[in-house]
Amino acid sequence: MRQRNRSSPAGLLLLSALLAWGCGDGGDDSDGGPGSLIWVKQAGGDFFDYGYDVDVCSDDSVIVTGKFEYTATFGHGEPNATDLTSSGGHDIYVARYDIAGSLVWAKRAGGSSGQDMGLGVAALSDDAVVVTGSFQGTATFGSGESNETSLTSAGNYDIYIARYNVNGSLLWASNRIARDLHSMYSRAVSIDA
């Protein structure tokens, strides 16, 4: 059975650890046995970056989401190293790491005003990814892609949900509007297979 791991705000860096009990069959002694650290990665920049949720895909790759400000580097020194730059304030990130801990892709979403956050992530059976969280003002998902979508909040914070394919391309994004102009947050997503 897969374990669902949650991370908490990590100050100046985001740490994602894939533990033996979170992937594979747990029977391979070459990884140090159940509960042994397999890999750990650092991502982020010089300011406050947070990791809020982690999930494991069927191929044992790991998906993480959270928020970052200014510039955050994912996969530093790797072939797929990616620098994400926020549009202003905190923006959303979603990143995928393979079973060995190498960055597969990293994406940003958000807008120029306020705090945009990825608070929950879930992997689907086809290894597509669903992300949820909150945003302020206007947030753009899949910038420059064929399914680029801009959402506008009616209140302080609105809820969004977005789906990315296995390669990190946006499939769709939608929001729930806070009609009473108060804040709405979505902190988790669960998939009923």
pLDDT of residue 10: 34
pLDDT of residue 2: 37
How far is Cα 56 from Cα 91, in angstroms, rounded to an integer?
23
Q: What is the sign of the dihedral through the CA atoms of 55, 57, 59 and 61? A: negative
pLDDT of residue 54: 93
pLDDT of residue 26: 43
DSSP string, 154-190: SSSSEEEEEEE-TTS-EEEEEEE--TTSS--------
pLDDT of residue 153: 85
pLDDT of residue 120: 93
pLDDT of residue 86: 92
pLDDT of residue 162: 96
Q: What is the pLDDT along the chain (193 residues), one digit of tens a residue?
A: 333 333 333 332 333 333 333 444 444 445 566 777 888 888 888 888 889 999 999 999 999 999 999 999 999 999 999 999 999 889 999 999 999 999 999 999 999 877 899 999 999 999 999 999 999 889 999 999 999 999 988 777 888 999 999 999 999 999 865 555 555 555 555 565 5
pLDDT of residue 39: 81
How far is Cα 46 from Cα 144, in angstroms, rounded to an integer?
26
pLDDT of residue 187: 54
pLDDT of residue 13: 33
Strand-pair partners of 17 = 40
Q: How far is CA 57 from CA 4, 24, 51, 65, 136, in A?
A: 11, 11, 18, 14, 29
Q: What is the sign of the dihedral through the CA atoms of 152, 184, 130 and 80? A: positive
Predicted structure pTM score: 0.79
